[in-house]
């Protein structure tokens, strides 16, 4: 059994603007089950952060409890991180983000962590428009506790021991759309061509970005009755639109043909180029996105891609008009400017 | 892209870079693992099977395996394969119990071998256990060929050579030392069933520059060919060198000449070579050792004249040149205009060797090509005279010991088939192969899959000051056990293959994600309507990292359930087994390649 991955790498690995190669963004060797979809998400995050040239020490990895919430240990081992309690990642992230708005918040949660015990926390962090990337590894079960059905499991689906999901499933993308998230997407752990640009765009996006990532649990939810197995997902996935992420510095070469292609400029000047696969696809209509998701679900299809994007929406700090200086950088003098300033303020009320 | 053919061993053998690069296909990783287990005798015997002279080759092999070693693609230096071979030879126990038994009842076929170099002796070793009578003719007083006459004892001690020659000679060779074969036609009349010509490339080339015809006329030896001079040293006809010696040439012979001259008393030894220092033919380690012994190497000088004063040789004139390479990499020398006179007492010309076949009559049906080399079938080494076979330097000009050995194996197979009345090419055997799973438990392997990141160990040697004082003291000391065990850990076990099973893969990409060297890519196969070239381009564009070495073919799977292909870049795989450990369905397994007839894999 290997506990370490060799540090030898391909001699041709490209390096990014910081002179790092993608392997510099890795973490410990995963201890999840062999074949777990979460590991593919990990590798997509590593690739996205590498391609964005994120300085690892400017990233905070946040998670709750679950196999999915263990995943941050397996990427960006030079970043900050907080593995919180079950379902409470959003509050801890809110606190961290308040204290230091300059870090990039990458949050990884599970469908149990977010749609069951943490549903309230999830709803409120969306409402709050916290500037973060919130990813859910959606496997339809509680993997870590041996495969109980999660609230995201499609109604009627059976788990490995034959127990049926009797209740309506929760669609976290639909909830996020209802509650005002400004970036909402769904993807599949096995489709890195789609997932990596989405993660890059979501990180560049200023505001609350949510990606629900179908991520098969190979041990407890990969059986023939499952709607989250590799085979089922491979067969039922449909893509609304293919997204490319074009960073600020890169020149945009080809034209964007009207009708089938759309360029969306993100806050930092980078661009999302959307190639529509469904003719009536729109990125600015949350209501329609909800209808699209539900309509495909009725047909037994899993719709993936970017559902909604409002590149100009406000985020938590903007809504609250907080100071541009991160709170953790405010000094005693900034916070307590002394009696002379106080008397000035008092004078202004006289 | 064509699905990789796994019905024969070819693809797998190619992945084992060192073994594939070794002309005799020595199973390198297998013997290195045995060394790691301190099973030196077993490690030696694996070598002995393939390369016949492990103690010799563990010291002086040309080591084509090392530049090929995969390790040098992921870090700076290859595994010290050659030095490890010596470790097996140095530490083995008595191997006599493991030597093949030679039948007392012979098969009635008599084979003549001409020359007692490594090529002939390999043929002898391979054929004796099959019941052949082997009759060996050698003009020198002892066996070994150039291993004895040319390679100095400070690189290859006589005891090591004798020991390994005797394993073969004692198998029952009928040896005729001191017997020069001067007519093939006569030999053929003596009723041999086949003849093997392993006479090497015994003629040193001279340089016919102005002054060539005048030197040595006074009875002195002012100019000699390097190989003449070296064999005179070996056989005791020459035990001193004058003060100032110039060696012409930049190959291994030049290196042996200059180092030997220094040991025989020369105080000013200069090697002058036409090429640049980097382009010299000598192995890098030979150059390093010569320089360490205080020999000056002057690159970019071409000799133009032997200078005589009053009929007496006084030195050599050189012109300075620079090497200019055209686009195809072809070198031309251009003159800088500068000249240099080097005064000296002895010139050793080491600019090449040639084969010599004055003893083969040209009217007996043995065809020669336009370079006066025998026309041979490359696969069988058979000449146009069907009972005459060639090998070693005699076959294709000067190469090295391991090539001579490989040729010996090839020719032995041919001779055996021929003597059974069959066709040496079309009835040739092919090796069977097997892939043995190394799985022990869920994630446990019977080989050490851990990757060691240590740099290559340097081999200890006696001090350079001591080295030049005696002619026959071996310079290199070889690895001690500690260094050997450390060095053995560096081997990546390239013979333990990643074997892929399409039918069980669920395309979860776990293997692709975990691979430290980005070997594995799951790709879209393209469109049936497109041409093959377009689809190939499409596939290659999806590889995680572009291929480093197109020589090492990609492994291409059959289409998977989704129609995608799994492409594996075999070139930089560390054989770490992580892909197999992370595969949920066991679609990957780590399997060791076993070849059942290595000699038959030599093509
Ligand atoms: C100075 C020098 C250093 C070298 N160093 C190395 C080294 O470090 N590593 C390496 O791998 N290779 C080295 N080589 C090359 C290597 O020695 C040869 O490639 C190898 O020995 C060739 O083997 P062979 O069996 O073909 O012939 P040889 O070893 O040349 O043996 C041929 C034998 O045939 C005998 N012979 C020839 N004609 C007749 C005849 N008509 N009748 C009877 N006998 C005859 C010769 O006397 C000789 O003994 C070196 C060569 C030289 C010159
Ligand atoms: C307060 C609390 N309640 C229950 C648990 C037990 N528990 C651990 S992980 C988990 C579910 C995790 O499911 P999910 O978030 O979907 O992660 P997965 O393992 O499927 O990736 C539960 C219920 C806990 N750790 N803490
Ligand atoms: S139990 Fe399921 S979710 Fe957890 S590591 Fe294993 S495969 Fe992944
Ligand atoms: S053994 Fe597997 S994981 Fe390891 S380097 Fe080779 S392909 Fe990659
Ligand atoms: S880990 Fe196994 S099942 Fe998964 S993609 Fe690789 S070979 Fe296929
Ligand atoms: Mg889950």
Section B97-119 average pLDDT: 97
Q: Do residues A12 and B546 lie in contact, with contact meaning Cβ atoms separated by under 8 Å?
A: yes
**Same domain (yes/no): B85, B145:** no
- Mutation pick from B447, B452, B506 vs chain A, by most beta carbons of A within 10 Å, is B506
Q: What is the pLDDT of residue B333?
A: 87
Contacts of B420 (CB under 8 A, 6+ apart): none
Interface test with A, best of B77, B442, B443, B509 (most A CBs within 10 A): B509
Cα distance between the two ends of chain B: 26
Instruction: Indicate the pLDDT class of residue A218, thresholds 50, 70 and 90.
Output: very high
User: What tens digit of pLDDT does each residue of A202-216 get?
Assistant: 999 999 999 999 999
**Stated pTM of the model:** 0.92
The answer to whether residues B89 and B134 belong to one domain is no
How many CA atoms, within 13 angstroms, populate the side-chain half-sphere of residue A45? 33
Helix axes B28-36, B81-91, angle to 10 degrees: 50
Query: CB contact, 8 Å: A33 with chain B?
Result: yes
Identity of the residue in A2, A23, A189 whose CB atom sits nearest the CB atom of B581: A2
**What is the spatial distance between Cα B288 and Cα A235, in angstroms, rounded to a whole number?**
63
In percent, how much of chain B has pLDDT > 70? Answer: 100
Q: What average pLDDT does the segment B390-405 reach?
A: 97
pLDDT score of B340 more than 90 = yes
- Contact (CB, 8 A) for B341 and B317: yes
Query: Could you state, in order of their start, the residue ranges of all structural domains in chain A?
Result: 22-317
Buried b (16+ CB within 10 A) or exposed e, B89-126: bbbbeeeeeeeeebeeeeeebbbbbbbbbbbbbbbbbb
Listed residues B488, B511, B542: the one ending a domain: B488
A9: contact with B, CB 8 A cutoff: yes
What is the separation of C-alpha B69 from the centre of its chain, rounded to a whole number of angstroms?
Answer: 14
Domain edge (last residue) among B367, B401, B419 = B419
Q: Is residue B55 part of a domain?
A: yes
Q: B488, B511, B543: which is the final residue of a domain?
A: B488
Look at strands B312-325 and B301-309 and give their pairing.
antiparallel
Instruction: Give CA–CA dist B524/A153, Å, rounded.
Output: 30
The closest alpha carbon to B24, from B97, B161, B125, belongs to: B125
R_g over Cα of chain A: 21
Of residues B581, B444, B567, B489, the one with CA closest to residue A29: B581
A22-61: pLDDT as tens digits: 999 999 999 999 999 999 999 999 999 999 999 999 999 9
Question: What is the structure's pLDDT at B216?
Answer: 84
Pocket test for ligand 4, best of B568, B577, B590, B591 (most atoms within 8 A of CB): B577
Confidence band for A318, pLDDT divided at 50, 70 and 90: very high
| A248-257, B85-94, B238-247, B311-320: range with lowest mean pLDDT | A248-257
Name the CA dihedral angle for B148, B152, B155, B161, rounded to a multiple of 10 degrees: 20
A141 in contact with ligand 2, CB cutoff 6 A: yes
Helices (H), B481-585: 481-489, 510-514, 532-541, 578-582
* Judgement on whether residues B180 and B51 belong to the same structural domain of the protein: no
Whether residue B74 lies inside any domain: the answer is yes
What does the alpha-carbon distance between residue B330 and residue B323 come to, in Å, rounded to a whole number?
10
What is the band of A14 on the pLDDT scale with cuts at 50, 70, 90? Answer: very high
Q: Is A162 in the B-facing interface, judged by CB distances under 8 Å? A: no
CB contact under 8 A, A216 and B508: yes
Distance of alpha carbon B547 from alpha carbon B555, whole angstroms:
12
Does one domain contain both B382 and B319?
Answer: no
Is the pLDDT at A252 greater than 80? The verdict is no
What CATH code is carried by the domain that includes residue B19?
1.10.1060
Q: Which two tokens stand for residue B235?
A: 């056989």
- In chain B, the number of structural domains is 4
Helix axes B401-419, B118-127, angle to 10 degrees: 40
The verdict on residue B564 lying in a domain is: yes
B223 and B333 assigned to the same domain: yes
The label of the residue with tokens 């004892």 reads: B153
Q: SS3 for B166?
A: helix
Residue A262's pLDDT is 85
Do B459 and B483 belong together in one domain? yes
Mean pLDDT value across residues B280-292: 94
What is the third-level CATH fold of A22-317? Rossmann fold (3.40.50)
Q: Are residues B170 and B303 in the same domain?
A: no
In which band, very low, low, confident or very high, does the pLDDT at A2 lie, cut at 50, 70 and 90? confident
Asked whether the beta carbons of B516 and A8 are under 8 A apart, the reply is yes
Kindly state whether residues B365 and B333 are assigned to the same domain: no
Determine the Cα–Cα distance for residues A92 and B288; give it in Å rounded to an integer: 63
How far apart are the CA of B147 and the centre of ligand 1, in A? 6
Q: B439-473: per-residue pLDDT in tens?
A: 998 788 999 999 999 999 999 999 999 999 999 99
Q: Are residues B343 and B377 in the same domain?
A: no
By Cβ distance, the residue of B442, B562, B583 closest to A35 is B583
From chain A, the residues in CB contact with B508 under 8 A are: 35, 37, 40, 190, 216, 218, 230
Task: Identify the residue whose C-alpha is closest to ligand 4 atom 6.
Answer: B573
Provide the CATH number for the domain around residue B279: 3.50.50.60
Do B337 and B296 share a structural domain? yes
Q: Is residue B374 part of a domain?
A: yes
Positions of E strands within B249-400: 268-273, 296-299, 301-309, 312-325, 331-343, 346-349, 353-354, 388-390
Q: What value of ipTM does the predicted structure carry?
A: 0.91
Please judge whether A2 and B443 are an interchain contact, meaning their C-beta atoms are less than 8 angstroms apart: yes
The ligand whose atoms approach the alpha carbon of A234 most closely is 5
- Whether B429 maps to a domain, the answer reads no
Both B346 and B360 in one domain: the answer is no
Please indicate, yes or no, whether residues B325 and B231 belong to a single structural domain of this protein.
Answer: yes
* Domain coverage including residue B577: 496-601
Report CA B419 to chain centroid distance, whole Å: 29
B436 lines ligand 5 (CB under 6 A): no
User: Which residues fall within 8 angstroms of residue A290, CB to CB, at 6 or more apart?
Assistant: A174, A177, A178
Q: Give the residue whose CA is nearest to atom 4 of ligand 3.
A: A143
Residue B119 lies in a domain: yes
Confidence band for A249, pLDDT divided at 50, 70 and 90: confident
Q: Pick from B109, B128, B31, B19: which is nearest to B70 by CA?
A: B19
């Amino acid at each position: 059994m290997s506990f370490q991955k060799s540090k030898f790498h391909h001699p041709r690995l490209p390096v990014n603007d910081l002179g790092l190669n993608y392997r510099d963004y890795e973490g410990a060797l995963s201890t999840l089950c062999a074949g777990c979809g979460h590991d593919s998400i990990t590798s997509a995050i590593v690739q996205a952060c590498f391609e964005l040239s994120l300085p690892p020490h400017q990233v905070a990895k946040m998670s709750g409890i679950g196999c999915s919430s263990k995943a941050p240990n397996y990427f960006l081992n030079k970043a900050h991180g907080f593995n919180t309690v079950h379902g409470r990642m959003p509050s801890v992230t809110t606190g961290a983000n308040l204290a230091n708005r300059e870090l990039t918040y990458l949050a990884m949660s599970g469908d149990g962590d977010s749609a069951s015990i943490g549903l309230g926390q999830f709803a409120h962090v969306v409402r709050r428009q916290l500037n973060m990337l919130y990813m859910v590894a959606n496997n339809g079960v509680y993997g870590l506790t041996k495969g109980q059905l999660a609230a995201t499991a499609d109604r009627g689906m059976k788990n490995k021991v034959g127990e049926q999901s009797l209740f309506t499933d929760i669609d976290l993308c639909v909830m996020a759309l209802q509650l005002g998230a400004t970036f909402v997407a769904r993807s599949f752990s096995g489709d890195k061509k789609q997932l990596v640009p989405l993660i890059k765009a979501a990180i560049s996006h200023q505001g609350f970005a949510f990606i629900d990532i179908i991520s098969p649990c190979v041990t407890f939810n990969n059986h023939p009755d499952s709607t989250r197995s590799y085979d089922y997902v491979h067969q039922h996935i449909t893509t609304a639109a293919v997204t490319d992420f074009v960073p600020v510095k890169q020149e945009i070469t080809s034209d964007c043909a009207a009708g089938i292609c759309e360029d969306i400029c993100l806050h930092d000047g980078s661009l999302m180029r959307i190639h529509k696969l469904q003719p009536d696809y729109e990125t600015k209509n949350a209501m329609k996105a909800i209808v699209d998701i539900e309509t495909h679900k009725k047909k037994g299809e899993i719709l993936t891609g970017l559902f909604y994007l409002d590149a100009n929406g406000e985020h938590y700090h903007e809504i609250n008009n907080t100071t541009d200086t991160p709170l953790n950088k405010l000094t005693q003098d900034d916070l307590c400017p002394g009696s002379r300033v106080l008397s000035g303020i008092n004078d202004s009320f006289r | 892209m064509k699905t990789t053919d796994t019905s024969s061993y070819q693809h797998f053998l190619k992945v084992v870079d060192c073994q594939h690069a070794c002309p005799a296909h020595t199973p390198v990783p297998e013997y290195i693992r045995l060394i790691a287990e301190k099973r030196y005798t077993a490690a030696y015997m694996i070598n002995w099977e393939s390369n016949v002279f492990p103690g010799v080759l563990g010291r002086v092999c040309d080591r084509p395996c090392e530049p090929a070693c995969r390790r040098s693609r992921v870090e700076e230096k290859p595994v010290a394969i050659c030095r490890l071979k010596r470790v097996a030879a140095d530490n083995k126990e008595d191997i006599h119990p493991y030597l093949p038994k030679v039948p007392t009842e012979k098969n009635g076929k008599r084979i003549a071998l001409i020359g007692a170099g490594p090529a002939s002796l390999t043929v002898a070793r391979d054929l004796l256990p099959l019941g052949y009578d082997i009759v060996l003719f050698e003009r020198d007083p002892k066996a070994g060929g150039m291993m004895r006459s040319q390679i100095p004892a400070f690189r290859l001690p006589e005891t090591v050579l004798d020991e390994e020659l005797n394993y073969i000679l004692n198998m029952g060779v009928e040896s005729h030392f001191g017997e020069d074969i001067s007519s093939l036609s006569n030999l053929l009349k003596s009723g041999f069933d086949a003849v093997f010509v392993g006479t090497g490339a015994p003629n040193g080339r001279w340089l016919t520059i102005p002054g060539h015809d005048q030197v040595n006329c006074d009875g002195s030896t002012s100019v000699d060919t390097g190989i003449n001079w070296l064999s005179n040293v070996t056989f005791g006809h020459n035990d001193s060198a004058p003060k100032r010696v110039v060696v012409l040439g930049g190959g291994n012979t030049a290196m042996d000449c200059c180092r030997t001259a220094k040991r025989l008393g020369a105080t000013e030894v200069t090697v002058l070579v036409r090429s640049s220092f980097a382009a010299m033919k000598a192995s890098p380690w030979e150059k390093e050792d010569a320089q360490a012994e205080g020999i000056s190497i002057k690159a970019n000088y071409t000799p133009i004249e032997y200078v005589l004063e009053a009929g007496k040789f006084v030195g050599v004139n050189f012109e300075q040149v620079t090497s200019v390479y055209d686009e195809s990499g072809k070198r031309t020398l251009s003159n800088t205009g500068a000249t240099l006179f080097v005064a000296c007492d002895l010139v050793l010309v080491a600019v090449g060797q040639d084969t010599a076949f004055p003893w083969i009559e040209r009217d007996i049906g043995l065809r020669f090509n336009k370079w006066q080399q025998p026309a041979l079938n490359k696969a069988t080494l058979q000449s146009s005279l069907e009972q005459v076979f060639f090998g070693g330097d005699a076959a294709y000009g000067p190469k090295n010991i391991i090539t001579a050995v490989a040729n010996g194996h090839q020719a032995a197979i041919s001779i055996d088939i021929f003597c059974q009345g069959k066709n040496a090419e079309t009835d040739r055997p092919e090796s069977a192969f097997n892939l043995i799973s190394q799985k022990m438990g869920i994630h446990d392997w019977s080989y050490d899959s851990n990757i060691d990141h240590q740099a290559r160990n340097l081999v200890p040697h006696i001090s350079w000051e001591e080295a030049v004082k005696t002619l026959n003291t071996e310079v290199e000391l070889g690895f001690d056990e500690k260094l050997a065990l450390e060095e053995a850990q560096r081997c990546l076990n390239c013979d333990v293959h990643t074997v892929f099973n399409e039918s069980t893969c669920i395309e979860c990409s776990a293997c692709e994600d975990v691979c430290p060297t980005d070997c594995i890519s799951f790709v879209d196969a393209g469109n049936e309507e497109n041409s093959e070239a377009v689809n190939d381009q499409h596939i290659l564009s999806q590889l995680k990292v572009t291929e480093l070495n197109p020589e090492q073919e990609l492994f291409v799977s059959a289409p998977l359930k989704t129609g995608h292909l799994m492409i594996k870049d075999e070139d930089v795989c560390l054989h770490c087994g992580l892909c197999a450990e992370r595969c949920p369905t066991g679609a990957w397994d780590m399997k060791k390649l076993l070849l059942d007839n290595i000699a038959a894999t030599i093509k």
